[in-house]
Structure 1
């Protein structure tokens, strides 16, 4: 069963991303693959403070994207300014479920849902999500993430 699209007000974290001419496909609309890049931009910016303040991030541990999917709700044409809302909807032991809502003038055009894993890059395996990361996510979110052990 398809979930209803998120609303702009569901997101505490927002980023604006302008479309580019290079985002277009032969049909004249923004190509579906570009929405994964928009998600990536929002995801990395959402976690930027963790990365910036921790010199071990990306060297010993950090995030790894385990899966991603998208629902395309409306065609997107260039030029447009996307408002991308990003949030963590669920936190498990080592993984998180993310949602990115993509809006133009307050109208949802796409939503991506991803699985992000806290990862040990040295040992090449998942790690338990640190308490400090959980606390940072809880403090940032407008809608409290579901939490499972």
Structure 2
């Protein structure tokens, strides 16, 4: 992940989701553990793909995705019980895949960054071009400058 200052700015993300942390998310030092960060990013990605801005329009066939790559940079300690707000944006759109850029913020500080590459797929034939309607919705979620 390239160190891009705008990735640490909540205003760069056109969508966000606030999630509660759990007592079980802590490590032995009392900080959010690496699995907790992965869960928070996964939950945000899934919510936006199922019911958020990236979700299908009424009457449109639901797109299917497979996660091809996930990278997480841990920037600062996260703490329980403070909630975490995860910013969600699209960093890149290819012909059959796109990269979701996310950042976790707690008490105003960026504590982690995550990039996830999702491949659009047809259930019968595998990787497939991103449909025009989905591409349009993804374009609307681009990471802001």
- With the shorter chain as reference, the TM-score category is 0.7 to 0.9
- Separation in 2, partners of 1:3, 1:133: 28
Evaluate the alpha carbon distance shift between residue 142 and residue 95 of structure 1 in structure 2; reply closer, same or farther with a 3 A threshold. closer
Instruction: State how many pairs are aligned.
Output: 140
Q: Give 5+ residue unaligned stretches, structure 1.
A: 145-149
Per the normalisation by structure 2, the TM-score is 0.86
* Structure 1 vs Structure 2 CA RMSD: 2.1
Counterpart Cα distance in 1 of 2:47 and 2:26 = 24
**Separation in 2 of the partners of 1:67 and 1:131?**
23
| Alignment match of 2:90 (pick from 88, 91, 104) | 88
* CA distances 1:1-43 after superposition (whole Å, capped 9, x unpaired): 8413511000110110111001112222111112111111111
Partner in structure 1 of residue 78 of structure 2: 76
In structure 2, what is the equivalent of residue 29 of structure 1? 31
Per the alignment, residue 4 of structure 1 pairs with 4
- Once superposed, which parts of structure 1, at least 4 consecutive aligned residues long, lie more than 6 Å away? none
